[in-house]
Amino acid sequence: MRFRHPDGSTVHLAYCTNVHPAETLDGVLAQLRDHCEPVRRRLGRDRLGIGLWLARDAAHTLVTDPSALRRLRAALDRRGLEVVTLNGFPYEGFGAEEVKYRVYKPDWADPERLEHTTALARVLAALLPDDVTRGSISTLPLAWRTAHDAPRAEAARTALRTLAERLDALEELTGRDIRVGLEPEPGCVVETTRDAIAPLTAVAHRRIGVCVDTCHLATSFEDPHTALDALTEAGVPVVKSQLSAALHAEHPHLPEVRAALAAFDEPRFLHQTRTDTAAGLRGTDDLGPALRGDTLPDAAPWRAHFHVPLHAAPAAPLTSTLPVLKAALSRLVAGPRPLTHHLEVETYTWQALPEGLRPRARSRLADGIAAELTLARDLLTDLGLKELP
């Protein structure tokens, strides 16, 4: 979906396909048929933006086999889909029964991460619509915080500088400007947007910036305006933003709130949980440890890294951080010029929701994704953007 900003530029809205992950090109093509095109039809659009997640094997096939790349591009065109952004965070296995800490490997100190992201950039340059010259890729925020010592930190910085050089060369070759954004996430080396400033100013390249995920922003209790103003002042570009909402518990000390939260404690994904205390941010790596014992103070609200559907906040006594998303979106696109032109709805946890909330059929999942995109569309038009055909 495309929108005209009052400054005349185009803002793109997509939804991320990591909600129905596939490891191979055949799996990706099936996604387009079984999920993406039905969402487009529900929205009544001739064209729908999708943020592709390409696992290692799929990306390798596409970058080494020109016929495979042509096949994917043709399938996108035939089904009324377009790609201006990729999710390059998960490397592989995002559809596994247990993902948890595996999603952070390989990190930016490992050569595999640089090679995979380079492959994604080459693929994206070939997939961009003919009238679009800039693409974006989100990636993990350097590494999970443990075992990231000084030598690995330097290796990560070197890898990002090498990536920037490769992206420069790619634009010279193709005319396509591909940018990569570190996605701050609780528990990682770059946990907040503030944490991103030092490593990115050390790299100091316009093609390497930040992907602002509004669920992560909220989980870390960051104020959207303060966070985005600090990035702007530091000259760190917002490459893209993922529109997502976290789980919010206003009174976590109450037994009924604990019981409601326990329904979201599931074995597949990591749900980092945080509370903002007078002594600073406190947290656990997952929701389960927060609920057990007195590990996490419960005198103030808790937020958990669980991407809840944008249009459907959990039932009381829980809610979502949709207000944080709205505040961030206002700062991102309501000014004289957009801070980013790439927005992506990223609710990948539909099948990890409590049993009664999970869509039991493809049609129900398509309904839900379409409802999320409709909400995002309405927020954008309320901010003065005009939806384009």
Q: What is the pLDDT along the chain (389 residues), one digit of tens a residue?
A: 999 999 999 999 999 999 998 999 999 999 999 999 999 999 999 999 999 999 999 999 999 999 999 999 999 999 999 999 999 999 999 999 999 999 999 999 999 999 999 999 999 999 999 999 999 999 999 999 988 999 999 999 999 999 999 999 999 999 999 999 999 999 999 999 999 999 999 999 999 999 999 999 999 999 999 999 999 999 999 999 999 999 999 999 999 999 999 999 999 999 999 999 999 999 999 999 999 978 899 999 999 999 999 999 999 999 999 999 999 999 999 999 999 999 999 999 999 999 999 999 999 999 999 999 999 999 999 999 999 99
Before 141, cis peptide (omega within 30)? no
Residue 185 lies in a domain: yes
Residue 369 lies in a domain: yes
What is the rounded distance in angstroms from the CA atom of residue 123 to the CA atom of residue 12?
19
What is the rounded distance in angstroms from the CA atom of residue 356 to the CA atom of residue 305?
20
One DSSP character per residue, 248-307 reads: EES-TTSHHHHHHHHTT--SSS---EEEEETTEEEEESSHHHHHSTTSS--SS-EEEEEE
Residue 266 lies in a domain: no
What is the rounded distance in angstroms from the CA atom of residue 282 to the CA atom of residue 173?
47
Instruction: Give the range of the structural domain holding residue 173, as residue numbers without chain letter.
Output: 2-246+320-387
Residue 383 lies in a domain: yes
The three-point CA angle 365-270-376 to 5° equals 40
pLDDT of 21 reads 85
What is the rounded distance in angstroms from the CA atom of residue 15 to the CA atom of residue 289?
31
What is the rounded distance in angstroms from the CA atom of residue 291 to the CA atom of residue 334?
39
What is the rounded distance in angstroms from the CA atom of residue 183 to the CA atom of residue 209?
9
Q: Note whether 345 and 14 are within 8 A (CB).
A: yes
Q: Note whether 362 and 34 are within 8 A (CB).
A: yes
Burial class from Cβ neighbours inside 10 Å (0-12, 13-18, 19+) for residue 338 reads buried
pTM reported for the whole predicted model = 0.97
CATH number of 125's domain: 3.20.20.150
Give the residue among 226, 122, 117 at the shortest CA–CA distance from 174: 122
pLDDT of 303 reads 98
Residue 285 lies in a domain: no
Residue 357 lies in a domain: yes
Count the Cβ atoms, other than its own, within 10 Å of residue 71: 16
3-state SS assignment for residue 13: strand
CA quadruple 53, 56, 57, 60: dihedral sign: positive
Q: Note whether 296 and 302 are within 8 A (CB).
A: yes
Q: Note whether 382 and 329 are within 8 A (CB).
A: no
Q: Which residues pair with 4 in a beta bridge?
A: 10, 386
pLDDT of 321 reads 98
Residue 292 lies in a domain: no
pLDDT of 20 reads 92
pLDDT of 193 reads 97
Domains identified in the chain, total number = 1
Residue 288 lies in a domain: no
The residues near 58 (Cβ < 8 Å, ≥ 6 apart) are: 22, 23, 24, 25, 27, 28
The backbone torsions φ and ψ at residue 171, rounded to the nearest 5 degrees and listed phi first, read -65, -40
pLDDT of 147 reads 83
The residues near 10 (Cβ < 8 Å, ≥ 6 apart) are: 2, 3, 4, 341, 388
